[in-house]
Chains A and B, each alone.
Chain A
């Protein structure tokens, strides 16, 4: 069994975070909220950056016990073809969306690297910012994606508890804990500008997982000094397969985790998705969260379909905040927070590099 990396037990600066995270902490939730809000306002201002997910394919080769798209589920499988991707992008653009996250399952013949790369290139023609949440790739594959306009990779460890991880990932490529752990570093090595990390809250001890997640962020930040970093706090939602999370996280603990991360990582993007309720999302806006998803559809082809009221099938998980972009933005504005749809410029696309490399890469443009 491969040994765990040293950074995973690096306790250099986890003491104050651990103190804030402990449910028995002497710091009240209200005190943490006030500090978290002040830091957020100073560093990020009164704005929230918006993005939306686009499910390209729900084919999958892994057996994650908690996922509605695991390969043993009876969910109908699809992948979007180029014209369907364009149709989805057009429907998303009508909603004002310009920052998207493309999703697939684990690598399959139906949705492999070439398929993903082609999809990124199509999305980058239409959207201002394109990120990917798919399967782990090699350094050169990540570089090729960056060349096609992918700026961010989201890859959650799900849980940093190796035993729990191995029990939950029943089969498939995702079963290898260490390989998963090393994926964000490979993405950055390949020139991807930012990585999104997270744990799926509910799978294992949430406080332990939060501390490991923090160590991962700090380790990557020290190793890849150009890396943009965001941290997400997905909580288990009801999904196909009916998995019951053994470590449910209530609203108070989730709020405590978010405030503690904002205080411990004052400059890092903190993300909250439509998995959470409208009430929770509205409450957390301005208190630490700086990036939110909107108008989420967790089915393949969901945007065009909801425009046309066609079939409605089950997605990867049920979303909780199902407000339209307009309704959601109105709620943010009522709180004196500006929803920002475009906060990126495609001229900044391309692999992260220094002067010499940047000048070289201008000559090679494989996607154009």
Chain B
């Protein structure tokens, strides 16, 4: 069976869902179920232990068959992300941590230096570290070297719906990586998710595209199907694109025949 493996964990679904931006938690939970996702990320800042109605963690942890991956969204330094990871592990019991450090709360681009530092510390502490990064092939290798469980480069800016704007860099990251590459952020349509999987991503993470859809559950299902199709196509082996037409007078006729 074709399973996604991260650390010692395996998942049959290769779609990871984010849980922010939904109109209410019922819609969010329905979308999670419809997506078939087995790995779901939730921001520590949306854990609310004092008010159940405002809490995302409680209802998610009640769903059978999913593993929660807390994230540090809101942290702007390595020190803050490390503190957040400790609290998240304490509260959720999950070994996963999605390191998300965006010091500029406007464009939310991940800080490579702080992310590297936090990931290094947390990997050493035994977390399964999933860092959210810009599509930077060198940073991806540096993170692999310090023991991250995967790398999560962005397809384009969070919430932008610009799709795989970074595909050239993603291709290099995928080609060179020894750990799973998971495209995170920027996807708008299931076809883009399928494309990412065909390129050889091990999984994709989607949030805005589902939360902001007219019918989030249906969109979640559509993404699940697209991810599965893209994966199957990757495994089947896409036919080669032909670079140019074959010349009628062969270019190599001067070489003579055997």
Residues of A within 8 A of B (CB): 41-47, 93, 96, 98, 193-194, 221, 225-229, 267-268, 333, 336-345, 347-348, 350, 352-355, 358-359, 361-362
Tell whether, in the assembled complex, residue B22 and residue A42 are in contact, meaning their CB atoms are under 8 Å apart: no
Tell whether, in the assembled complex, residue A358 and residue B79 are in contact, meaning their CB atoms are under 8 Å apart: yes
- Among A42, A193, A338, A352, contact of B23 (Cβ-Cβ < 8 Å): A338
Supposing A42-B160, A348-B75 touch, asked if A342 and B84 sit within 8 A by C-beta, the answer is no
Supposing A46-B21, A348-B75 touch, asked if A268 and B106 sit within 8 A by C-beta, the answer is yes
Q: Which residue of A44, A98, A354 has the most chain B CB atoms within 10 A of its CB atom? A: A354
Interface hits, B1-58 → A, CB 8 Å: 20-25, 44-48, 50-51, 53-54
Residues in B whose Cβ lies below 8 Å from that of A352? 76-77, 103
Residues of B within 8 A of A (CB): 20-25, 44-48, 50-51, 53-54, 74-80, 83-84, 87, 103-108, 113-114, 117, 159-161, 208, 211-212
Supposing A342-B46, A345-B45 touch, asked if A45 and B211 sit within 8 A by C-beta, the answer is yes
C-alpha spacing A58/B127, complex, angstroms: 49
Residues in A whose Cβ lies below 8 Å from that of B53? 96
Tell whether, in the assembled complex, residue A46 and residue B45 are in contact, meaning their CB atoms are under 8 Å apart: no
- Among B51, B78, B107, contact of A98 (Cβ-Cβ < 8 Å): B51
Tell whether, in the assembled complex, residue B106 and residue A267 are in contact, meaning their CB atoms are under 8 Å apart: yes
Contact sample, A vs B, 20 pairs, CB 8 Å cutoff: A45-B22, A45-B208, A46-B23, A47-B20, A47-B21, A98-B48, A98-B50, A193-B76, A228-B106, A267-B106, A267-B107, A336-B24, A338-B22, A340-B54, A347-B80, A348-B76, A348-B80, A348-B84, A354-B114, A362-B79
Supposing A338-B22, A352-B76, A362-B79 touch, asked if A194 and B105 sit within 8 A by C-beta, the answer is yes
Residues in B whose Cβ lies below 8 Å from that of A342? 45-48, 50-51, 54
Residues in B whose Cβ lies below 8 Å from that of A345? 44-45, 47, 74-75, 84, 87
C-alpha spacing A57/B120, complex, angstroms: 46
Tell whether, in the assembled complex, residue A355 and residue B78 are in contact, meaning their CB atoms are under 8 Å apart: yes
Tell whether, in the assembled complex, residue A96 and residue B114 are in contact, meaning their CB atoms are under 8 Å apart: no
C-alpha spacing A44/B23, complex, angstroms: 11
Residue in B closest to A345 when the chains form the complex, CB atoms: B45
- Among B46, B74, B211, contact of A340 (Cβ-Cβ < 8 Å): B46
Supposing A336-B23, A341-B54, A352-B76 touch, asked if A43 and B159 sit within 8 A by C-beta, the answer is yes
C-alpha spacing A229/B105, complex, angstroms: 8
Tell whether, in the assembled complex, residue B87 and residue A347 are in contact, meaning their CB atoms are under 8 Å apart: yes
Tell whether, in the assembled complex, residue B46 and residue A343 are in contact, meaning their CB atoms are under 8 Å apart: yes
Residue in B closest to A217 when the chains form the complex, CB atoms: B106
B175 to chain A, nearest CB (A): 30
Residues in A whose Cβ lies below 8 Å from that of B80? 347-348, 350, 358
A286 to chain B, nearest CB (A): 9
Residues in B whose Cβ lies below 8 Å from that of A355? 77-79, 113-114, 117
Residues in B whose Cβ lies below 8 Å from that of A337? 23
A306 to chain B, nearest CB (A): 20
- Among A46, A194, A225, A358, contact of B22 (Cβ-Cβ < 8 Å): A46
- Among A44, A347, A353, contact of B21 (Cβ-Cβ < 8 Å): A44
Residues in B whose Cβ lies below 8 Å from that of A44? 21, 159
Q: Which residue of B25, B107, B108 has the most chain A CB atoms within 10 A of its CB atom? A: B107
Beyond A42-B160, A338-B24, A347-B84, 17 additional contacts (C-beta under 8 Å) are A41-B212, A42-B212, A47-B21, A96-B54, A194-B105, A229-B105, A267-B108, A338-B23, A340-B46, A341-B51, A345-B47, A345-B84, A348-B45, A348-B74, A352-B103, A355-B114, A358-B80
A35 to chain B, nearest CB (A): 14
Q: Which residue of A41, A228, A353, A355 has the most chain B CB atoms within 10 A of its CB atom? A: A355
Residue in A closest to B73 when the chains form the complex, CB atoms: A345
Tell whether, in the assembled complex, residue A341 and residue B48 are in contact, meaning their CB atoms are under 8 Å apart: yes
C-alpha spacing A44/B51, complex, angstroms: 22
Tell whether, in the assembled complex, residue A226 and residue B103 are in contact, meaning their CB atoms are under 8 Å apart: yes
Residue in B closest to A50 when the chains form the complex, CB atoms: B54
Residues in B whose Cβ lies below 8 Å from that of A338? 22-25
